[in-house]
Structure 1
Amino acid sequence: MKLIEAIILAVIEGLTEFLPVSSTGHMIIGSSLMGIEHDEFVKLFTIVIQLGTILSVIVLYFKRFFQSFDFYFKLIVAFIPAVIFGLLLSDTIDKLLESPMTVAVSLVVGGVILLFADKWFNNPTIDSSNDISYTTALKIGLFQCLAMIPGVSRSGASIVGGMSQKLSRKAAAEFSFFLAVPTMFGATAKKLYDFYKGGYHLSSDEINLLLIGNIIGFIVAIIAIKSFIGFVTKHGFRAFGWYRIVVGGIIVILLLAGIDLQVM
């Protein structure tokens, strides 16, 4: 992987990880158009640079992470379903990851849902993520598990899950950001463990690429999160719905044109 390719992928990750548009779908298009070979390091890179985006959430919501232990317990409750289903369905998930068409279909279907999400869930009663119950946290965690299907979008699934439980758009988005911290940290830790367990080792150049990727992902994610909260509070999710449909359509067109797309 070249430096410019690492930078572009980090920008894509930072922009799309916390938006309901599927970072996986964008990684597929970006890496395939650049002709990046999907070796073990590239697969590791696309996961490990999530550490930078995780840090962006902690920095932006620093005070929230130190308000009470109740906050952490709710995150743990919401995170548990992902751990359970991730272990039980690991083989099925791996098979789905081999199908770019699954990503395309998921993008389109998720896009259609976002077109109507604001109408379906237009009577919120919870305006702060601090006010959710443990039961609500668990339900949002179950919704997040839908993102194990490539192209669904972790943030999209958890945000819609929150809105279905009477959270406002802002509260649902913020809880989705918080839930990303244990979820993405767990995914990164597992990927690093599997990488070294498989007998692979990082060269000094690869370590530098990971550092650069995380720094860029951190900066871009901060901008994306702040912009997203303001946009979705005023305008809702309809624009993201149409965007997902377009991206899903692009992937279908690329597949029909015979371009080899590989899920990251």
Structure 2
Amino acid sequence: MSDWLAALILGLVEGLTEFIPVSSTGHMLLLGHFLGFESTGKTFEIVIQLGALLAIISVYFRKLWTLATRWPFDAEARRFLIGLGLAFMPAAVIGFFAYDFIKTVLFETPLVICVALIVGGVILLLLDRMPKRPRWIDADAYPLRLYFLIGLFQCLAMIPGVSRSGATIAGGLLLGTDKRSAAEFSFFLALPTMGAAVAYDLFKNRDVLDFSDLGLIAVGFVAAFVTALAVVRFLLEFVSRRGFAPFAWWRIAVGLIGIAGLAMTGGL
């Protein structure tokens, strides 16, 4: 397979999976493993995440602009930003101190990814079928304690295959939110979390970054942006009607296929 086609496929997969609870990192690492695609210093894999991040900014630009301009004199805007900071803080601390272990051990073990995909899928199925009466249906008005607790759940996504959005959504559901607001808050939490992760990745890999394949990076970036834009626009309505079961079954299927592939290629 040519590098151009691999770049297109990886960009599409990044955009399709970044904001749904199936683990974009797990999909990207497994695909890269089986396609034999790996850029120097993971430059390609790092930069195309910015395409998905740009999709969130595009869809929620008006709200983000309101938060940015009104927080000095709007108590509700300040409260939401504080809550977002509280949710981001646990992952920032753990990610900083455990970075080397995460990147050199967990990210290099495809079997861990496959198992995490399957286990996370089973958990999502159980949560989706659990009878619940949500206490909070507005992501802007969660208690500050709830923001922080959701942030603790997000830390589970340090294990590739768990899914950042899946961990935050599952945490929200367990803590009493409804499906729609849990998914929407996972979008907003992606902004500081992904932004900081990409910036730190670029910094840590600054000595080995290689932007010589700018064409491949551009293809992946645009593909990730376009597909992530479509996902963000339809996801909230989809989960309100269908729940998370389709994503859970997808996770389980990908995990099982991944294990089968590793067994056939001697990767277990």
- Please say whether Structure 1 and Structure 2 have the same fold, judged by a TM-score greater than 0.5: yes
| CA 1:182–1:223: 2 relative to 1, 3 Å | same
Task: Verify: 1:187 aligned to 2:188, yes or no.
Answer: no
Structure 1 pair 121–213 and aligned structure 2 pair: CA distance change class (3 A)? farther
Q: Which runs of 5+ in 2 are unaligned?
A: 68-76
- 5 Å matches for 1:158-173? 158-173=168-183
CA distance in 2, matches of 1:86, 1:200: 20
Structure-2 residue corresponding to 1:154: 164
Of stretches 46-55 and 252-261 in structure 1, the one that deviates more from structure 2 is 252-261
Aligned to 1:216: 223
RMSD: 1.8
With 8-17 and 19-28 compared, the bigger mean Cα shift is at 19-28
Once the 2 structures are TM-superposed, how far is the Cα of residue 15 of structure 1 from its aligned partner? 0.1
Shift of 1:139: 0.5
Deviations 1:193-243 (A, max 9, x none): 1222x244422xx23332332222111101112222222110111121111
Q: How many residues align?
A: 256
CA distance in 1, matches of 2:134, 2:200: 36
For residue 72 of structure 1, report the CA deviation from its aligned partner.
2.1
Q: CA deviation at 1:88?
A: 2.5
State the one-letter code of the partner of 2:40: E
Shift of 1:24: 2.2
Identity, in percent, stands at 42
Residue 121 (structure 1) shift: 5.9
Instruction: Report the alpha carbon displacement of residue 260 of structure 1 after superposing the two structures with TM.
Output: 4.7
Deviations 1:73-100 (A, max 9, x none): 2211111101111122224323112211
Q: 2:95 is aligned with what amino acid?
A: G
CA distance in 1, matches of 2:51, 2:216: 13
Distance of 2:58 and 2:107 partners within structure 1 = 32
TM-score by structure 2 length? 0.89
Which amino acid counterpart does residue 9 of structure 2 have in structure 1?
I
Amino acid at match of 1:58: I
Which of the residues 103, 123, 132 maps onto 1:122? 132
Q: Where in structure 2 are the equivalents of 1:233-244 lying within 5 Å?
A: 233-244=240-251
List gaps (5 residues or longer) in structure 1. Answer: none
2:70 corresponds in structure 1 to: none
CA distance change for structure 1 residues 8 and 188 in 2, over 3 Å: closer, same or farther? same
| Equivalent in 87, 100, 109 of residue 119 of structure 2 | 109
Distance in 2 (alpha carbons) for counterparts of 1:187 and 1:102: 21
Q: For the Cα contact (< 8 Å) 2:202–2:209, is it kept in 1?
A: no
Residue of structure 2 in register with 1:53 after alignment = 52
Q: TM-score, normalised by structure 1?
A: 0.90
1:40–1:195 CA contact under 8 A, matched in 2: no
